[in-house]
Amino acid sequence: MPESSTLVIVEDDLVDSLSIRRELRRHVLDCRIVVMTDPHAALDHLQTELDPDALQRTVVSLDLSLPGESGFWLLDRMQLDPRLRKVPVVVITGSEDDADQKRALQLGARAAFSKSMLSGAVDTLALAIGLLPEPRHGSAPYINVAPRGRALVIDDDRADSIQIQRQIEQVAGPQWVVDVAHDGDEGIASLGQRPYDVVFLDMNLPRRRGTEIMREMLVRLGEELPPVVAVTGAGSENTVREMFHLGATDYLPKSMINRAALNRVLALIYARSQKSVEKLRAEFASVPETEGTPATGLVMLAGSAGALQIATRALSRRYELGENALLYLTHASRRPDSSLLTVMQNVNANFEWARPGEMVAAGHFYVAPPGFDIGFAEQRFRMIPADAHPSSVPSLDIAYRMATEVYGNKLSVFVLAGLSDDGAAGVAQAAAVGARVFVVDPNELGSNGVMGQAVVDFVPSTRIVSIHDVETELEQAVGA
């Protein structure tokens, strides 16, 4: 019977080693676990107890703070031994010092995590174990990938993108075409021009985070978005979790991109990720037919749910919107327990939840529903479940940019309030084509004027209005 993989846990704290083993139960792994508390004993075990075949199926989990010599010492000795140099090492340390983790990576560790990020660290351990060569005796070949296909690599590092491109071509064969985009905008444009079977997206792109690019791809392409593989250098656990929440199929640390990894990933190209789509379908079982004609103009309001009360009198009235539609977005609406619904009911506004695929009709007032981000495709809503990670902000930039593409200078943007500067870049693009931008005077809002101040700083043509003048400006914008 062929041998299973081996995980050597080098950890002197019994509780921590048990925690690693407990976390591993979340993964279905045929893996033998050996726990060592001393770096000298661990080095001796690796050098004398494991033959070359066993070493090929071994992963090491390493703490840096150990009795006697440190984990750095063991990393250094493993790099000096040609047989041990290729054994994957994942550092899981109690140190929160980034310098320690960077030093571990420089000494050959494949990844480094603090113990406060144990779940992500164990996910990486499991991934490393899953990528190990299968036992040679009676082993089955890796799953064959599709005989032909097209992949898109989005990576600003030209050396990394060339490496991934070449490895895909070697694994998948000459019938696969691999295109490369060097930033998110170029990648999104490529996806709009031709179909792809898989996208490899770097998480650490300049200017825009990989999660933001992923969100925009989802909003623009919806069900047509191919499987996306997140590619990370020393990416954090939170970034990886955000990507999976958004529907990424898989992720690969750059240090682990090899033939085995790509075989496994490319075998998934037929299994499109439906997480976001299924959630949308559950939330909106059907899209009602919208009465009336498509809106030729759009008025967008943004701010926290409480800020909507600034426009209470204006929104309580039944507007004759003419060819315009009015849409309200809010940071607070991203949470399912948002107070937005209560606020909307209190102002007696005649609103509707925006729904995916629904036509934006003239004379209607829409609200982005709790837990969703919003965009536009032609004259219809495009939506995805909003990411629940607390450090993230809604993708107002995406909403503004896509609304600009559809409505151009027929767009009006009102920034009522907010605690983030998300949206300033999108507003700038709208203003550049002649859209009107209004911001409630940040000096009247105190801390709630942070988002508005960012827009004022970024868009010179912004019109600053008093809280007391919002009603008048809204009436003019919607043609009341």
What pLDDT is stored for residue 46 in this prediction? 93
Confidence band, pLDDT 50/70/90 cuts, at residue 261: low
For residues 195 and 152, the answer to whether their CB atoms sit within 8 Å is no
Mean pLDDT of 376-382: 86
What pLDDT is stored for residue 280 in this prediction? 47
What pLDDT is stored for residue 304 in this prediction? 67
Confidence band, pLDDT 50/70/90 cuts, at residue 28: low
Residue 445 one-letter amino acid: L
pLDDT in tens, 67-111: 888 999 999 999 999 889 888 888 998 887 878 888 888 888 877
What pLDDT is stored for residue 164 in this prediction? 83
Phi, psi of 136 (to 5 degrees): -70, -30
Q: Does 63 score more than 50 pLDDT?
A: yes
Hey, where are the domains in the chain? 5-130, 149-273, 288-478
pLDDT in tens, 179-211: 999 888 899 899 888 888 889 998 888 777 888
Mean pLDDT of 391-410: 80
pLDDT in tens, 268-311: 554 333 334 455 455 555 666 666 789 999 999 887 666 666 66
CATH no., domain 5-130:
3.40.50.2300
Mean pLDDT of 431-454: 83
The reply to whether CATH 3.40.50.2300 applies to domain 149-273 is: yes
What pLDDT is stored for residue 142 in this prediction? 32
For residues 181 and 165, the answer to whether their CB atoms sit within 8 Å is no
Exposed, middle or buried by CB within 10 Å (0-12, 13-18, 19+), for 368?
buried
Q: For residue 144, give the nearest of 263, 243, 32 by alpha carbon.
A: 263
What pLDDT is stored for residue 413 in this prediction? 92
What pLDDT is stored for residue 435 in this prediction? 93
Mean pLDDT of 116-133: 72
Quote the distance between the C-alpha of residue 187 and its chain's center. 15
This prediction has a pTM of: 0.55
The answer to whether domain 5-130 and domain 149-273 are alike in fold is: yes
19 to each of 23, 282, 322, how far by Cα in Å? 6, 36, 62
What pLDDT is stored for residue 126 in this prediction? 76
288-478 topology per CATH: Rossmann fold (3.40.50)
Phi, psi of 25 (to 5 degrees): -65, -20
Kind plus residue range of the DSSP H or E element containing 471: helix 470-478
Confidence band, pLDDT 50/70/90 cuts, at residue 132: low
Which position has the higher pLDDT, 355 or 142? 355
